[in-house]
Structure 1
Amino acid sequence: MSTQNPMNDESGSSYGEHHEFMAAMGVDRVPESGSSNSEKAGSVSGFNGQYKQESPENGLQRKESRLERVMTGFFSERVRDVRKKLITQFLFNHLALALLILSVFSLYWGAMYDKPRYFHKIKILAVIQDDGAVSQPLPSLIDTVPGHWHVYSSSSFQENYHVSESQIDTQITKLIHEQKFWMSLNVKPNATNVLIDSLQNSSAQPFNSSAFFEMFFESGRDPTNFKSSILPLMTELEAKYQATYSSKILPQIMTNLSDSLANVPSVNVAQAGSMLFSQVDYRPFDNFVLLGPLQVGLIYCILLTFFQLLLFAPMHAEFAQKLKVPHMILYRYLIATINYFFLSLFFCLVSLAFQVDYGRTYGRSGFLVAWMASWLLMMAVGGANENMLTLLAALAPRFSGFWMIFWVVLNISPSFYPMDLVNNVYRYGYILPIFNGVGIFRVIFLNIYPGHLGRNFGVLCAWIVLNMLLFPLCAKVFATQKKRRP
């Protein structure tokens, strides 16, 4: 005969479970099995009263149990796998940074490295119109100075460029302005005769060497590198010629004229000992504020296009969820074009605020020309940024900064230094936006030769068209990768 355990109720629950349930409901004490009926009744009555008091109708409040994250030490076994992941990421990240620095930064450093090695690419014109003793040593001295020298006599220059004797000076100016040569030395005719006359004719004027030896150049062609790297080639020739003139040419002439030196004014003798070349800067770089829009400001142009993309990214994402694909692409084209329109205006207003002369080349239209050129430049570099950052956002978001550094350095390395003083590998700059933007702004601000503007604007427009053609493909890759993500 089976007996029921007195510790179990009708449902089979143990007394302990019943006790815990009663305690959870707020009953202070559950009567023991040996308690009197009155005690049990009191307990039940207390339970009922407590239940009624804490029922939902009377504002029963339940406390939710909450799991709290337990923090631990760095060397805890609980983060062992995370530490291994850290080591792997540390090695990979530093390898990536090392490759970036050693490859991309080397591109910029290389543009400044060993410039004398490329002096042979600097074309320099020398026209010696005097055929006397004063200019006789010049050809041999020129051979000792670095540079790609083109030396002509008066007759050979006329024959080569099909000009008359009276047109020689004008033709030299034209050749320098059209960037056929970096600079020229023009030795005017009769230099020797005028020097001798000043030492034997008491009524003659003192010899002025700077009127017969003329250096002609345009520093605006390269504001930062011409006077520091190219002009010293001519001043080196000047120094060598001064030494030769003082030690050989002038003593020989004075020996031949020793009988007449006593009759000429002493100022003539003193002036004859001074040999200086005059410097004619046909398109001078005379405002250092121009380094803003011509150099560092162009780096800011690239960064501004990146910032506008970040600022509008939330709006792009919101529209992407609601617009059809053709409408979304059209929206991105329009919003980017409008953004660059205003960014380029703000960029030009900074130079205007600092009194940069926009009218040197195009008069009152200069500001408008600069604005439109800045607009095209931002569209060219900004479109490339949008395409690449869209791809990186889909494939490798953490490498977006790598692209920005690469894009900046790739553009400025061939743009801030003359092609004739860098390795031929930097000729890729001819097809990049910043290089052509620099060429346009130098024409606007410094009035240098405008013959390359067609190529400059053509390259910018080609970049804009290419970016617009590639953007739908980049957007498709982004959308595909986004769908694959969990």
Structure 2
Amino acid sequence: MSDANPAVPLASEHPANSFGRQFQECIVDVPEHGLSEQSSTSVFNPDEVTKNYDIERVQPSRRLGFCSQYFEQMRWNALKTFGISILVMGALLIGIHSIFWGSLFQRQKYLNRVNFFLVNFDSNADSIIGSTFLSSASRYAIAAGSATVQDETSVYANGNIDAVYNDVVEQKNWGAFVVLPNATAKLIAALKEPSGAAGYDSDLVQFVYAQAREPSAYDSLMPWISGLSASFTAELSNELLRLTMNNSDYSASNIINQAPYLLSTPATVLLTNIRPMDNPVTGAIMQLGLVHLIIISFFQFDFFQQVHKSFFPYLKRRHFLVYRTLLSFAAYFFLSLFFSLLSLAFQVDFTRAYGRGGFVVFWMIMFLGMTAVGGASENMALICVATYPPLVGFWLIFMVISNGSPAFYSIELEPAFFKYGYAFPIHNVANAFKTVLFNTKSNIGLNVGVLLVWIAVNTAFAPVSIWIFERANKWKESKKIKGEKN
């Protein structure tokens, strides 16, 4: 074997490769036909052989069974390695995936954090729909132990429904129940003349919401809203039955014979989605697209590792850091462009919030997001490769789950622990994407600020991770040299 001391590699040698290399080196030292002529007729004695060769580096002169005494130490080492590895993997699996499972656990328990507005534009003295809805909502909320409905009619006294829509978009509430103008008058007129009620529209209450704000949250809220709507319809029906039975202005028999629906379903809640996710491709962007953003940013590290290794032994450390940082940024710049062009090719509308410049804004958010998560992964990958390479895969899983749990699901419907998501990259990328793609409330300044902080911290930590990597490899190399000398 050569005594030359090669340059320290940037990637630590996998244990399996190390064993294979040592095994081949050992074969060179062992005689071609196994034992010498002098001992060819004697019984094979492992103890005699191990006087000159390490047990893991000796090629036996004949194949042996797995239970052979020759493999006793190797069997024990394999069992010990298996046990420790399974325990480590199990602990990491449970610890990391508990984040994701926890984000979905007992979501209904947190509905009390959700507030809805009630705006009654049918505010005449004899109005019964608005008052019935408010009382029904109050009783239903207490019974369900969940979301609250606040009467905010006085805020919109001018009857401007566009102002209600704007406040929903600006996230002052999770939605607004709007009793439409003259709702009671339309219902009373139909009850008095059931024969002319063929064109009666029972959608006298609107529920205004912005689905794109948090699609998963509304998936959880819709059953509650449907329950409230059914409760309101039933209570209003009972109220109208009492009214028609006790008031000579109405003919209960005529209503039942000609328009029974006026009593069974006198008013319903119309769902009005003012920020819909109306393109299925955007669902891919907001779910798997964000996961792949993390994964692809990590692949950049793996693809260029050999290039970095070729420069590392020869460049000054300062120059190497600048070179590596600029190359990574350039990679994220073009990868994010390809990612954005993919969405453009499938006709995603980028013009809703920023006009024709929306595509560039989307691309830049994608670039900053890739740089933020990619820099963190690159630093941790260097440390993991230098210390314990199998941890690299678990780090990638951790990045996906820890970033995805507060980004794919509403933090308001998760335990307080998940508020960390406000400071994590993917939550901010997702919010910025929603603004660009659906024209939801804009917090892009804050989102970009968080991403820039991540990029700055990653860049500042890069020299430390490279130093740890280099020190670990030098220690491994010195240990290897000492082993060869002994």
TM-score category of the 2 structures, normalised to the smaller one: 0.7 to 0.9
The answer to whether 1:251 aligns with 2:217 is no
CA RMSD of aligned residues (A): 2.3
Matches for 1:176-215 after TM superposition, within 5 Å: 176-200=168-192, 207-210=200-203, 212-215=204-207
Counterpart-to-counterpart distance in 2, 1:224 and 1:202 = 42
The more displaced of 106-115 and 361-370 is: 361-370
Q: Which residue of 2 aligns with 1:152?
A: 151
Q: Deviations over 1:285-337 (max 9, x none)?
A: 11222122111111111111221211111111110012111110011011101
CA–CA distance in structure 2, aligned partners of residues 231 and 260 of structure 1: 36
Q: In 2, Cα distance between the equivalents of 1:115 and 1:65?
A: 69
Q: Provide Cα deviations, 1:94-143, integer angstroms capped at 9, x if missing partner.
A: 11111112111011011111111111011111223445233333333212
Give the corresponding residue for 2:393.
Answer: 401
1:406-433 alpha-carbon deviations (Å, 9 max, x no partner): 1111111111110111001000000111
Match of 1:458 in 2: 449
Contact 2:301-2:378 at 8 Å conserved across structures: yes
The residue that corresponds to 2:482 in the other structure is: none
The alpha-carbon distance between structure 1 residues 67 and 126, as it changes in their structure 2 partners (threshold 3 A), is: farther
Distance in 2 (alpha carbons) for counterparts of 1:66 and 1:238:
87
The question of whether the paired residues in 1 share the 8 Å contact of 2:137 and 2:232 is answered with no
Q: Identify the residue that residue 14 of structure 1 maps to in structure 2.
A: none
- In the alignment, the residues of structure 1 paired with residue 288 and residue 250 of structure 2 have an alpha-carbon distance, to the nearest angstrom, of 61
Unaligned runs of 5+ residues in structure 2 are 1-29, 35-58, 479-486
Shift in alpha-carbon separation, 1:298–1:150, aligned structure 2, 3 A? same
SS at structure 2 position matched to 1:215: strand
Distance 1:281 1:411 in 2: 28
Q: Greater CA radius of gyration, 1 or 2?
A: 1
Name structure 1 gaps, 5 residues minimum. 1-63
What CA distance in whole angstroms lies between the structure 1 residues aligned with 2:104 and 2:289?
20
Aligned: 1:325 with 2:291: no
Q: 1:166 aligns with which of 147, 151, 159?
A: 159
1:106: which partner in 2?
A: 98
Native 8 Å contact 1:127 1:185 kept in 2: yes
- The 5-angstrom pairing of residues 332-411 of structure 1 reads 332-411=324-403
Distance 1:177 1:350 in 2: 28
CA apart distance, 1:438? 0.5
1:278 is the counterpart of 2:244: no
The answer on 1:472 being equivalent to 2:467 is no
Per the normalisation by structure 2, the TM-score is 0.79
Return the alpha-carbon distance in structure 1 between the equivalents of residues 64 and 370 of structure 2. 50
- What letter matches 2:454 in structure 1? W
Q: Percent identity?
A: 32
Cα distance change, pair 469–198 in 1 and its aligned pair in 2 (3 A): same
* Kept after mapping to 1: 8 A contact 2:136/2:235: no
- The question of 1:133 aligning with 2:128 is answered yes
2:32 equivalent to 1:66? yes
Distance 1:270 1:400 in 2: 64
Task: Provide, for residues 46-102 of structure 1, a one-character-per-residue CA deviation record: whole Å limited to 9, x for no partner.
Answer: xxxxxxxxxxxxxxxxxx962553343211111111111111111111111111121
Q: Name 1:57's counterpart in structure 2.
A: none
Given that 1:128 and 1:151 are in contact with CA atoms closer than 8 Å, whether structure 2 keeps it comes out as no
Seen in structure 2, the aligned counterparts of structure 1 residues 237 and 344 have a Cα distance that, compared at 3 Å, is same
Q: Work out the CA distance in 1 between the residues paired with 2:33 and 2:399.
A: 48
- For residues 396 and 384 of structure 1, do their structure 2 counterparts lie closer, same or farther at Cα, with a shift above 3 Å needed? same
| Contact residue 386 and residue 472 of structure 2 kept, 8 A | yes
Q: Offset at 1:372?
A: 1.1
User: Matched residues in 2 for 1:90 and 1:330: separation?
Assistant: 41
Q: State the match for 2:137 in structure 1.
A: 142
Cα separation, partners in 2 of 1:298 and 1:202, compared to 1, 3 Å: closer
Q: 1:148 Cα deviation (Å)?
A: 3.5
Q: Per-residue deviation at 1:203? A: 9.7
The answer on whether the counterparts of 2:177 and 2:206 sit within 8 Å (CA) in structure 1 is yes
Q: Distance in 2 between matches of 1:267 and 1:457?
A: 61
* CA deviations over 1:163-182 (Å, ceiling 9, x no partner): 54233x23321221111111
Distance 1:389 1:270, change over 3 A: closer
3-state DSSP of counterpart to 1:415: helix
Cα distance, 1:353 vs structure 2:
2.4
How far 1:271 sits from its partner (Å)?
4.6
Q: How has the CA–CA distance of structure 1 residues 221 and 367 changed in structure 2, closer, same or farther, with 3 Å as cutoff?
A: same
TM-score (norm 1): 0.79
Instruction: Work out the CA distance in 1 between the residues paired with 2:231 and 2:222.
Output: 15
* 1:16 corresponding residue in structure 2: none
Corresponding residue for 1:85? 77
Paired amino acid for 1:243: A
Which deviates the most, 331-340 or 145-154? 145-154
Counterparts of 2:213 and 2:428 in 1: how far apart (Å)? 14
In 2, the alpha carbon distance for the partners of 1:250 and 1:339 equals 68
Aligned equivalents of 1:264, 1:93: Cα separation in 2? 75
Task: Write the distance in 2 (CA, Å) between the matches of 1:87 and 1:165.
Answer: 77
- Which residue number corresponds to residue 449 of structure 1? 441
> Displacement of 1:239 after TM fit?
0.6
From the superposition, tell whether residues 89 and 263 of structure 1 become closer, same or farther in structure 2 (CA, over 3 Å): closer
How many equivalent pairs are there? Answer: 412
